[in-house]
């Protein structure tokens, strides 16, 4: 494993905001199919939506299904057989709208971002109110 890199948590140069995200997937949605991959050949083990002012992109991280042994908890075994890592391929997906894929995939989705100065401090919500009406864009 001399070439490649470890797929890590999200990271930007100047993190003004950081946070977490969780997603409960629709059972019938096939992310591999949405990304244009053969789900008989590839098992998606991660995905990323990233970008900036010029637009956002979708990347999926997949492993070849022929590396998956017949067992219940396969990922620790795969990592053990491959020097402690899960070997995968990152695909840059073209001609799809990343947020359409996210919506198609999501039964329930939550993204929470915190301003840099609040990173290690609890935030107490003392009330909830409806926001002001938004201008039409």
13-46: pLDDT as tens digits: 999 999 999 999 887 889 999 999 999 999 899 9
- Vertex 38 angle, CA 100 and 4, to 5°: 85
Of residues 35 and 119, more confidence is placed in 35
Confidence at residue 132, expressed as pLDDT on a 0 to 100 scale: 84
Q: Please give the Cα distance from 34 to 123 (Å, whole number).
A: 37
Prediction pTM value: 0.77
Confidence at residue 72, expressed as pLDDT on a 0 to 100 scale: 67
Question: Cβ distance 47 to 136 under 8 Å?
Answer: no
Confidence at residue 84, expressed as pLDDT on a 0 to 100 scale: 94
């Amino acid at each position: 494993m001399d070439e490649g890199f470890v797929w890590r948590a999200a990271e930007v140069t100047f993190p003004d905001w950081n946070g977490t995200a969780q997603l409960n997937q629709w059972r019938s949605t096939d992310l591999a199919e949405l990304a244009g991959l053969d789900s008989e050949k590839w098992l998606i083990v991660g995905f990323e939506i990233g970008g900036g002012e010029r637009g956002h992109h979708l990347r999926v991280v997949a492993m070849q299904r022929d590396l998956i042994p017949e067992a219940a908890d396969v990922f620790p075994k795969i990592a053990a057989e491959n020097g402690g890592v899960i070997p995968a391929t990152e695909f840059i997906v073209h001609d799809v709208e990343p947020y359409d894929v996210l919506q198609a995939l999501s039964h329930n989705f939550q993204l929470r971002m915190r301003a840099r100065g609040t990173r290690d401090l609890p935030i107490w919500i003392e009330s909830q109110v409806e926001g002001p009406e938004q201008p039409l864009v």
